[in-house]
């Protein structure tokens, strides 16, 4: 996980894969929206171009503000054919999945079907135990805001060798991993801290949250997301793939280096079985849908006021970042605060944010996982020159 809050679903990828790729740079330009007009987005364009110059193969971005919708792309979606990226690209969104999961759990709370003060063990008896972990002392709220202390399974060295680094990835990229297996990986380690005593990002928290949704509803968590969020908002570019290995079109290729030092050749990592991320980060979406989702969420279309207030009640992470319930807050250099989430998985780094009133949203994707500055893009869009 990148400590500066651009968190990932398979967090070790963003840490391990961090060098530059000399990708062919294509000048950023409007891919739709207000034709030929960068307007207030000139700093965004510069940040997008800088990401490609830094080695990101390609970028797709969509913003919506008081002036309307604006899109831009840069670089390529396919290194072999040099096909450009499209504003309509679908891509793996990694940990942005967490906001969808938290939204469903909060809806279930609003319906009286569970309480965020319930213990994990009351819903998943005996699953969180071993090496000091104790599910009878951890609440659902602590899962959602990462104060549970539960070890992050993607930080396990064997897991990283098996699923994140080159030799293991190519041998196991199509394996199906059950969520209970992911939890068992975490339980083989000691907790990070006593529940509620601190904050630390752990993908295991959201694997457990997905399992709680399934226990509370009797249906797969992805079905609940589709029924409760995707269908009502008409998010037709968004999906919960389960074990499906491809990304629906229109889409670009996804690239990674799969090494600890970020060196070596670039690999096409587009196809994989995302069950290794499960409800911590398996979803696929596009920039239009992500903007619509976060605008709807922050303006109260998905949650009653009580639950939205709970979601936006943050734990301080550092001087500029807070973490609520599956939702991050970031105070930018110009004083603007944006709400949303970042996410990454093999070959894909994404961000989606909006202002608290939903009037200015931004969503974008890098189709590489080892370089590029996502926070510079956000700063450019909201703070400009």
**Catalytic positions:** 95
CA 293 – CA 313 distance, rounded (Å): 19
Q: Strand 315-316 vs strand 321-323: parallel, antiparallel, or unpaired?
A: antiparallel
Closest CA to 45 of 21, 70, 82: 70
Query: What are residue 84's DSSP bridge partners?
Result: 76
Closest CA to 380 of 332, 329, 331: 332
**How many beta carbons lie within 10 A of that of residue 84, not counting itself?**
17
Side-chain half-sphere of 100: how many Cα atoms within 13 Å? Answer: 39
- The CA-CA-CA angle for residues 115, 102, 91, to 5°, reads 165
CA 54 – CA 22 distance, rounded (Å): 8
Closest CA to 279 of 191, 229, 213, 192: 213
* Coil/strand/helix, residue 222: helix
CA 29 to chain centre: 25
For the chain, what's the residue count?
385
Residue 276 host element (H or E): none
Closest CA to 143 of 98, 190, 188: 98
CA 292 – CA 277 distance, rounded (Å): 24
φ, ψ at 224 (rounded to 5°): -65, -40
DSSP-assigned letter for residue 85: P
Residue 209 host element (H or E): helix 203-217
Residue 369 host element (H or E): none
């Amino acid at each position: 996980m990148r400590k500066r809050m651009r968190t990932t679903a398979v967090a070790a990828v963003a840490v391990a894969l961090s060098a530059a790729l000399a990708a062919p740079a294509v000048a950023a330009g409007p891919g739709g929206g207000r034709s030929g007009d960068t307007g207030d987005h000139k700093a965004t364009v510069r940040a997008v171009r800088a990401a490609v110059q830094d080695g990101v193969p390609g970028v797709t971005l969509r913003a919506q503000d008081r002036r309307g919708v604006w899109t831009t792309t840069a670089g390529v979606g396919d290194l072999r054919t040099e096909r450009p990226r499209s504003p309509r690209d679908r891509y793996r969104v990694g940990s942005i999945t967490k906001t969808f999961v938290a939204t469903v759990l909060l809806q279930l709370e609003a319906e009286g079907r569970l309480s965020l003060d319930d213990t994990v063990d009351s819903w998943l008896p005996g699953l969180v135990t071993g090496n000091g972990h104790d599910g009878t002392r951890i609440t659902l709220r602590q899962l959602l805001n990462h104060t549970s202390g539960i070890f992050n399974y993607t930080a396990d060295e064997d897991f990283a060798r098996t699923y994140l680094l080159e030799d293991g990835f190519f041998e196991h990229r199509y394996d199906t991993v059950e969520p209970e297996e992911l939890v068992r990986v975490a339980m083989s380690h000691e907790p990070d801290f006593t529940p509620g005593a601190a904050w630390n990002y752990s993908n295991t928290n959201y694997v457990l949250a997905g399992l709680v949704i399934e226990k509370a509803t009797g249906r797969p968590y992805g079905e609940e997301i589709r029924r409760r969020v995707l269908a009502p908002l008409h998010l037709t570019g968004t999906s919960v793939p389960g074990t499906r290995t491809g990304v629906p079109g229109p889409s670009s290729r996804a690239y990674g280096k799969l090494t600890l030092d970020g060196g070596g050749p670039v690999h096409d990592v587009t196809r994989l079985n995302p069950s290794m991320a499960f409800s911590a980060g398996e979803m696929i979406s596009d920039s239009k849908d992500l903007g619509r989702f976060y605008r709807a969420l922050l303006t109260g279309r998905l949650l009653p006021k009580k639950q939205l207030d709970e979601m936006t009640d943050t734990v301080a992470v550092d001087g500029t970042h807070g973490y609520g319930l599956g939702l991050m807050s970031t105070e930018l250099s110009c004083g603007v605060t944006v709400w949303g989430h970042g996410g990454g998985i093999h070959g894909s780094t994404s961000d989606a944010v909006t202002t608290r009133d939903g009037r200015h949203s931004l969503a974008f994707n890098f189709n590489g996982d080892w370089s590029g500055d996502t926070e510079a893009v956000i700063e450019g869009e909201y703070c400009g020159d």
